[in-house]
Amino acid sequence: MKRSLIVLLVSSILISACVNPYKNSQNMVSDYLIIPKPQSLEISQGRFLITPQTKISGTSDLENEGQYLASFLTLTTKMNIPFVTQSSGTIELKIDKNIKEDEGYILLVTSDKILISGKNSTGVFYGIQTLKQLLPASLETGKTSTNKITIPAVTIKDNPRFSYRGMHLDVGRHIFPVSFIKKYIDLIALHKMNTLHWHLTEDQGWRIEIKKYPKLTEVGSKRYGTITGHFHQETGNDETEYGGFYTQEEVKDIVKYATQRHITVIPEIELPGHASAAIASYTFLSCFPDEPTFVTNNMGSKAGKEAQAKGSSKIVQETWGVFDDVFCAGNEKTFTFLEDVLAEIIPLFPSEYVHIGGDECPKSNWQRCPACQKRIKDNKLADEHELQSYFIQRIEKYLNTKGKKIIGWDEILEGGLAPNATVMSWRGEKGGIEAAKQHHNVIMTPGTHCYFDKYQVDKQDYAKEPLAIGGFISVEKVYSYDPTPDALTAEEKKYILGAQGNVWTEYMDTTNYVEYMVLPRMSALSEVVWTPKENKNWNDFKFRLNTMKVLYDALGVNYAKHVFETKKDNTP
């Protein structure tokens, strides 16, 4: 009996010693190639081994994050890794109010345990995203390797540099399925970005269901042709019906999906310009309802002919550009319409912001419209620029009564900035600088660094690339960006909320192409808005980006592979 106990004890000791054979493993810098780069990372000895006995624990207020991690590990490792709230696990999720920074987290990995602590649930979620990058990228394929799955020991203390870290997606020019919008959201989450700016209305298509105004989708969601080349002068119009929209139920599903990943979805309803699709649906919104909106190239198009046959003067535009026919600022019905639309938009999006556009609004129709001129006179406005300011401020007041704030492109500065508006600076940084000096919040998205619809190669190589708008923005140029201009004082820089990558889809007609244009520039921007400026290093980023390339492949996403080749400008 005594001998049996001794054997049992020795066996137990030996089994315990073999539970994790990686306890004394020596780790290397190459084990920690994380994007965006954390604030602080200390390499330790040993590796945590994932086994069928691994379980995740946390309080009930971390159920969302726990189930997210459990689903990921269960799917990728082919082991049942549960999340439990009643007992402790070898992977523990925890809220730690001692963490000072919003969205901050601490990730502690030892050979025996993983602890992810966050200032809040968002911080915990970002700790999970970092943990995922410490796992073998091949796991993302869902095909478990025969090798043991381990995570290198480490202590990471991390938090973002900016509170606004966004990606934009235009679905007005080309629409994409719900499944892709979710995939796009997952890419945003992977990069610890927190905002999807969803551009839902355009001259070329109205993409969201508004129940009070069914023609917006019956008419406004369809165009009867799309230019087939770079500009219509170069080629022609395919005269093929193109369209689609998201139902309100689909929008709710997408917003819920994003919320679970700590991403805010900000809708954009364009006004007063880029309104052709709405005007084609309800012609009273135009200053001149009976005047044709056809441009030279589509006067004889299928849409133009059908519109004329039906006695209509307006079409959903088939070409890219800026059009003179905008919402009539002198007609009270315009504001009733927009308030009705926004009344249906607001319940769908819990975001504190609604983006109202405000860019590229020609004033020619307002200049000759009696109702708009009367509005200018009655309100003692100086000119049409102040009329635009009146328009924006009136919409802002309505949204403020509903508990919402507005974001607008930097043209909303013209004629006077609305009192509580946030400015999104796209025409360089000038508008952002001006707004910050006026103590308005600013999101930087200059076309010089943040427009992902531009080519990723120099002009001499354009022919090798898919069609794009023009211009050249390399990964290195994106990475070099600093959203806080030197022209601002330290106090004024506090009004810079962050930055955003813009994805305009005139020439991106497939999900595959969107991914190609976004990656790896999104990875570069993620580090711009997350990592302290003094911690950034281009050569170090290039080294880590090679691991991200492996992750792209595992995720099955398309990306610009050529930027990883050696180039004269050192683009990876």
Q: Give 336's Cβ-side CA count (13 Å radius).
A: 9
pLDDT of residue 461: 82
Q: Mean per-residue pLDDT for 420-438?
A: 97
pLDDT of residue 390: 98
Q: Which two tokens stand for residue 85?
A: 């709230």
Domain membership flag for residue 570: no
Residues 127 and 186 occupy one common structural domain: no
Residues 121 and 187 occupy one common structural domain: no
Domain membership flag for residue 76: yes
Question: Distance (Å, rounded) from C-alpha 195 to C-alpha 167?
Answer: 6
Question: Distance (Å, rounded) from C-alpha 132 to C-alpha 115?
Answer: 14
Query: Beta strand pairing status for 442-444 and 422-425?
Result: parallel
Q: Which two tokens stand for residue 3?
A: 């001998």
* CATH code assigned at 122: 3.30.379.10
Residues 104 and 173 occupy one common structural domain: no
Residues 238 and 290 occupy one common structural domain: yes
pLDDT-derived band at 145, boundaries 50, 70, 90: low
- List the beta bridge partners of residue 455: 472
Domain membership flag for residue 245: yes
Q: Mean per-residue pLDDT for 49-66?
A: 96
pLDDT of residue 200: 98
* CATH code assigned at 247: 3.20.20.80
Residues 232 and 103 occupy one common structural domain: no
Q: Mean per-residue pLDDT for 347-352?
A: 98
How many C-beta atoms surround the C-beta of residue 256 within 10 A? 11
pLDDT-derived band at 537, boundaries 50, 70, 90: very high
Residues 59 and 180 occupy one common structural domain: no
Q: Give 453-489 pLDDT, tens digit per residue.
A: 999 988 888 888 888 999 999 999 999 999 999 999 9
pLDDT of residue 237: 80
pLDDT of residue 13: 42
Domain membership flag for residue 152: yes
Q: Which two tokens stand for residue 13?
A: 């000791």
Domain membership flag for residue 536: yes
**Single-letter residue type at 251:** V
Lowest mean pLDDT among 74-88, 251-265, 336-350: 74-88
| Final residue in a domain of this structure, among 129, 158, 187 | 158
> pTM of the entire structure?
0.94
Query: Beta strand pairing status for 83-84 and 201-202?
Result: unpaired
Q: Give 14-32 pLDDT, tens digit per residue.
A: 444 457 898 999 999 999 9
pLDDT-derived band at 401, boundaries 50, 70, 90: very high
- List the beta bridge partners of residue 108: 115, 155
Residues 64 and 198 occupy one common structural domain: no
| Final residue in a domain of this structure, among 158, 189, 205 | 158
Residues 199 and 150 occupy one common structural domain: no
Q: Name the residue range of residue 335's domain.
A: 164-564
Domain membership flag for residue 351: yes
Q: Mean per-residue pLDDT for 177-199?
A: 98
Q: How many domains, the chain?
A: 2
**What does the buried/exposed string (b/e) look like for 366-385 if buried means 16 or more CB atoms within 10 Å of the residue's CB?**
beebeebbebbeeeebeebb
Residues 531 and 425 occupy one common structural domain: yes
| Final residue in a domain of this structure, among 158, 182, 213 | 158
Domain membership flag for residue 569: no
Residues 301 and 187 occupy one common structural domain: yes
Residues 141 and 196 occupy one common structural domain: no
Residues 242 and 101 occupy one common structural domain: no
Domain membership flag for residue 310: yes
pLDDT of residue 567: 45
